[in-house]
Amino acid sequence: MYRRLLAAFVCTALSALLLSTGAARAETTDHPQPPPGIPRLTDDQGRVLTLRGWNVEDKTHRGEAALSAITERHFRDLRARGFNFARLLVFWDDLEPERGHYSERYLRKIERILDWAHEHRVHVLVDAHQDVYGPAFGHRGIPEWATRTDGLPFTPHPDDWFAEYFEPAVQRAFTHLYEDPDLRRAQADMWRVLAGRLGDHPAVLGYDLINEPMGEIAPGEDLPTAARRIERDHLTPLYNRLADAVRSVDDDAWIFFEPTPIVGEGVPTGLGRIHDRKAVYAPHFYNTAMEAGADYDPSAGWIEAYESAVTVYPRRYRVPVVVGEWGPLNNSLPNMGRFYRDALASLNRYSSGWAGYVWCYGGGYCAVDAEGRFRTNKEQTAAPYARAVAGRITAEGYEPDRGVFRLTYRAGHGVTEVSVPPGPGGWRIELTGPARTTTPTLPADHAATARVWARPGAHITITVVPRAARDVSRPCPPPCAA
């Protein structure tokens, strides 16, 4: 019940903003063009990098048992489906259970997981995760020794854990984390230890500095106003401090940073500039009503409003976007097939990648069941994509109805890689322009990668077609144009 009340409050408070940022766009076109001015992520060879993957976690254990539910199977299965990305949840309370004492056992477990990821060619984003601050409130994340509440009350909400973010004790704990000099130093020290240990590992792509940060709502503030103030006054300096801490031990990895979760309602962030040459904006993509159990409503314009709002920051500050979490709990409701189709089309327009929530084997949010089969509608996340492009992309798009992926680019030096998932009948690769591949056909029973060499400076088109498909000559419709 509380979650439904919270959903109603948030949706009412933000409805005018949603209409102003997104509804007009939804009325003018079903396929908005990709926003200009958002750069793409690149790999260590300078190729344009696309990430497709899932979160990997173990929230059920603490202390010595932490991370024990994550096995090599997670990464083997991700790769077998064609994914190349995992957002790995790690917890400060496990890394530093007592102030100044870092767990060597926990670090070794993280390294073992990274070894599995590297073996299966999966890039890893190391995410410093917290939910409702940490164990002082019955969750995971920031240690109890770093939790200060000034004696304010906390009432658990077992049927709606997210509502606990609005408890006075939790909100005050965030304020102390942002403002107290000793806690600032402790959080920066934690990142120096973590990045210093993991920075040379070949699987590590980057670091997500804190998951879904929140803060304290001032008297008289509505939620959107509070979120923008927290982002401007607390999170922007926090991210710059932590980025400096990471850079003191790792000068190569990407730095991922998040707005508050209120961005999910189409609220443009109040974050300022993060002064790092490899900064990545990493919002999450959740809808309050759908999280409360509602079905997707295509006519509401939520996805359009979210896309319109979430692209303002990366255009202004010229940083790539990678969506760190997304995906509904009730994935089999009547309109969820349409949701996955609309959501993927939107995400692929403006982001360098995404990580669904979550790669586990069972029910709830899990991507696959106990036997490793995709759960209803989640199979749409496995599609052909260009994992690395040696050159400048001029057009890119996927047509789910025909299963056709098409990439057009001006070739540079290096090898372009296109990934395909398992598919009935397999795939064929068609090239236009001075290019060649040693894999013109790809198998049906497992994911595979086509590698394409092209003459630098040439305009190349790569088309990936189900081997049973016909008539792929017609141009790719919007949103293919890049």
406 strand-pairing partners: 397, 463
Question: Domain check: are 260 and 400 in the same one?
Answer: no
Question: Domain check: are 405 and 306 in the same one?
Answer: no
**Per-residue pLDDT for 62 more than 70?**
yes
The answer as to whether 143 is a domain residue is: yes
The 10 Å Cβ neighbour count of residue 137 is 22
- Give tens-digit pLDDT for 284-337: 999 999 999 999 999 999 999 999 999 999 999 999 999 999 999 999 999 999
- Give tens-digit pLDDT for 394-424: 999 999 999 999 999 999 999 999 999 999 9
Question: Domain check: are 408 and 274 in the same one?
Answer: no
The answer as to whether 474 is a domain residue is: no
- Give tens-digit pLDDT for 357-370: 999 999 999 999 99
- Give tens-digit pLDDT for 181-206: 999 999 999 999 999 999 999 999 99
Backbone dihedral angles phi then psi of residue 460, each to the nearest 5 degrees: -120, 140
Residue with tokens 């040693």: 438
The answer as to whether 437 is a domain residue is: yes
Residue 44 confidence (pLDDT): 92
Residue with tokens 């300078």: 46
Which of 381, 411, 443 is the C-terminal boundary of a domain?
A: 381
Stretch 436-464: mean pLDDT, rounded? 97
d(CA 192, CA 212): 21
Question: Domain check: are 377 and 397 in the same one?
Answer: no
Question: Domain check: are 417 and 310 in the same one?
Answer: no
Q: How confident is the model at residue 469 (pLDDT cuts 50, 70, 90)?
A: low
Q: How confident is the model at residue 250 (pLDDT cuts 50, 70, 90)?
A: very high
Which of 315, 347, 381 is the C-terminal boundary of a domain?
A: 381
Question: Domain check: are 149 and 293 in the same one?
Answer: yes
What pTM does this model have?
A: 0.92
CATH of the domain at 116: 3.20.20.80
Q: Which two tokens stand for residue 76?
A: 């083997």
Structural domain count, the chain: 2
Question: Domain check: are 337 and 255 in the same one?
Answer: yes
b/e 281-315 (16+ beta carbons within 10 angstroms → b): bbbbbbbbbbbbebebeeebbbbbbbbbbbbebbe
Classified as helix, coil or strand, 397 is strand
Question: Domain check: are 315 and 423 in the same one?
Answer: no
Question: Domain check: are 32 and 175 in the same one?
Answer: yes
**Per-residue pLDDT for 3 more than 60?**
no
b/e 16-46 (16+ beta carbons within 10 angstroms → b): ebbeebbbeebeeeeebebbeebebbbbeee
d(CA 474, CA 466): 15
Q: Domain range holding 445?
A: 393-466
Question: Domain check: are 361 and 437 in the same one?
Answer: no
Q: Which of 6-20, 49-63, 120-134, 413-427 comes out lowest in average pLDDT?
A: 6-20
Q: How confident is the model at residue 459 (pLDDT cuts 50, 70, 90)?
A: very high
**Per-residue pLDDT for 29 more than 70?**
no
Tell me which of 228 and 61 has the higher pLDDT: 228
The answer as to whether 315 is a domain residue is: yes
Average pLDDT, the chain: 91
Question: Domain check: are 375 and 399 in the same one?
Answer: no
Question: Domain check: are 425 and 332 in the same one?
Answer: no
Residue 64 confidence (pLDDT): 85
